[in-house]
């Protein structure tokens, strides 16, 4: 199977062949899922990455090294997880439906093959991938469609890995910010009120909203980690979440300006320590 690379992409050099795409079958993405396109550069610059321990856990639960794996990173966004997979030696193809996010990925990772598509209708041949990953993106799919698609495209023994960075609510300042987010979005976006509204808003994706497919058996792992960033980067991270992007600039700016004042009192040196737990679920085909 030959190496698949998009037109005008520099030759990345010898590497294992990634999965071969089949004929594209476009699937319209939900409007909120495409809201990130208007803030793609901000998303790529401010969103947290993933620790080495997460990639170690993926290898352990998948039962194989990432090096040499034919991988699809679905809902790749600006390529945050794509880069980590590539750097660990996977022959990774990024799959992204949004034009703005795809353009940012192409700008920062010009050597990585990029296919426009989504998990509900993967444009790849059956049994062509060793690993399919969804980093912060499974909840944007229709599991009744995306789960059978993953099973179809994975080779026997291949792995489906889903993960989310979730802000750790046991940390005092994160819990306080979470309460402010919940109060704000309950008032501004009443449809988000209820269980899981806080996490869907800006602190991650709640378990109840993930809809892990019942037909697959998942092994789970929780990977804690932290990063230290300027307050401005933390606020850009918050503002890059879909709940803010669909809200409108003025209302989002109002909340983020008030949040800057809260954080300046809590972190007088101007540096925020964000604490996360990456929640990982892996199933073997």
**Tell me: the pLDDT tens digits for 214-255?**
789 999 999 999 999 999 999 999 988 877 877 777 888 899
- Average pLDDT of the chain, as a whole number: 84
As a whole number of angstroms, the longest Cα–Cα distance in the chain is 57
Q: For residue 20, what pLDDT band results from cuts at 50, 70 and 90?
A: low
Q: Which is more confidently placed, 195 or 34?
A: 34
Q: Does residue 69 surpass a pLDDT of 60? A: yes
**Tell me: the pLDDT tens digits for 249-284?**
788 889 999 999 999 999 999 999 999 999 999 999
Contacts of 26 (CB under 8 A, 6+ apart): 117, 121
Res 45: pLDDT: 87
Res 19: pLDDT: 62
Could you tell me if 141 and 95 are in contact, meaning their C-beta atoms sit under 8 angstroms apart? no
**Tell me: the pLDDT tens digits for 84-125?**
999 999 999 999 999 999 999 999 999 999 999 999 999 999
Average pLDDT score over residue span 53-67: 98
What secondary structure does DSSP assign to 71-126, as a single string? EEEET-TTTHHHHHHHHTT-EEEEE---HHHHHHHHHH-TTS-EE---GGG--S-T
Q: Residue 204 has which token pair? A: 């991650």
Could you tell me if 144 and 211 are in contact, meaning their C-beta atoms sit under 8 angstroms apart? no
**Tell me: the pLDDT tens digits for 167-217?**
999 999 999 999 999 988 888 877 654 434 444 445 655 444 456 877 899
pTM of the model: 0.84
Contacts of 96 (CB under 8 A, 6+ apart): 75, 76, 77, 102, 105, 114, 115, 116, 117
């Amino acid at each position: 199977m030959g190496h698949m690379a998009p037109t005008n992409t520099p030759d990345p050099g010898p590497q294992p062949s990634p999965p071969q795409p089949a004929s594209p079958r476009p699937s319209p993405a939900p409007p909120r899922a495409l809201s990130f396109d208007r803030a793609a550069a901000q998303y790529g610059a401010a969103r947290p990455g993933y620790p080495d321990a997460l990639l170690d856990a993926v290898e352990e639960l998948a039962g194989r090294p990432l090096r040499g794996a034919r991988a699809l990173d679905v809902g790749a966004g600006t390529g945050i997880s794509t880069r980590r997979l590539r750097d660990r030696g996977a022959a990774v193809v990024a799959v992204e439906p949004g034009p703005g996010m795809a353009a940012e990925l192409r700008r920062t990772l010009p050597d990585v093959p990029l296919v426009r598509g989504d998990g509900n209708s993967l444009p790849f041949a059956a049994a062509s991938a060793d690993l399919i990953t969804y980093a912060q993106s499974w909840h944007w799919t229709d599991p009744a469609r995306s789960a059978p698609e993953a099973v179809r495209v994975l080779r026997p023994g291949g792995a489906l890995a889903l993960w989310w960075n979730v802000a750790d609510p046991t940390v005092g300042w994160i819990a306080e910010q979470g309460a402010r987010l919940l109060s704000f979005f309950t008032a501004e976006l009443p449809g988000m009120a209820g269980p899981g509204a806080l996490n869907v808003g800006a602190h991650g994706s709640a378990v109840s909203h993930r809809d892990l497919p019942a037909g697959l058996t998942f092994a789970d792992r929780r990977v804690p980690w932290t990063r230290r960033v300027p307050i401005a980067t933390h606020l850009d991270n918050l503002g890059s979440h879909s709940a803010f992007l669909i809200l409108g600039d003025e209302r989002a700016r109002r909340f983020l300006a008030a949040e800057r004042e809260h954080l300046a009192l809590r972190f007088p040196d101007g540096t925020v320590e964000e604490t996360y737990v990456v929640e990982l679920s892996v199933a073997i085909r």
